[in-house]
């Protein structure tokens, strides 16, 4: 793989997060990183990304966190029960 290019798993997570950001109504989700860090996403504006990097902006304004998309292990969607 070329340096700076994305593997298919990173592309899948980027596409999934992109769909979740635009979903109406918005449904909260959690981004889980490979080393166990968890980022609760409760508003669409909390996440921004490009082809390589993602930034999480916590609601409590405790400081943004940047990391590579390839660090994502899973995205857990918090579906509501009807």
> What are the C-alpha distances in Å from 10 to residues 2, 33, 39, 62, 82?
14, 12, 17, 26, 31
Q: Tell me if 44 is assigned to some domain.
A: yes
Q: Tell me if 19 is assigned to some domain.
A: yes
Q: Tell me if 82 is assigned to some domain.
A: no
Q: What is the pLDDT of residues 12-51, one digit of tens each?
A: 999 999 999 999 999 999 999 999 999 999 999 999 999 9
Report how many domains make up the chain.
Answer: 1
d(CA 82, CA 65): 34
Which CATH number goes with the domain that contains 14? 2.30.30.100
**Tokens in use for 33?**
């990183």
pLDDT at residue 81, rounded to an integer: 60
pTM score, whole prediction: 0.84
pLDDT at residue 62, rounded to an integer: 83
Q: Domain residues for 53?
A: 8-77
Stretch (H or E) spanning 68: strand 65-68
């Amino acid at each position: 793989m070329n340096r700076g290019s994305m593997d298919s798993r990173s592309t899948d997570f980027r596409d999934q997060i992109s769909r979740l950001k635009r979903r109406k109504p918005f449904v909260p989700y959690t981004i889980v990183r490979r080393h166990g860090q968890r980022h609760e996403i409760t508003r669409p504006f909390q996440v921004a990304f490009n082809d390589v990097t993602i930034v999480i902006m916590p609601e409590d304004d405790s400081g943004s966190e940047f990391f590579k998309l390839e660090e994502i292990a899973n995205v857990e969607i918090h579906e509501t029960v009807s």
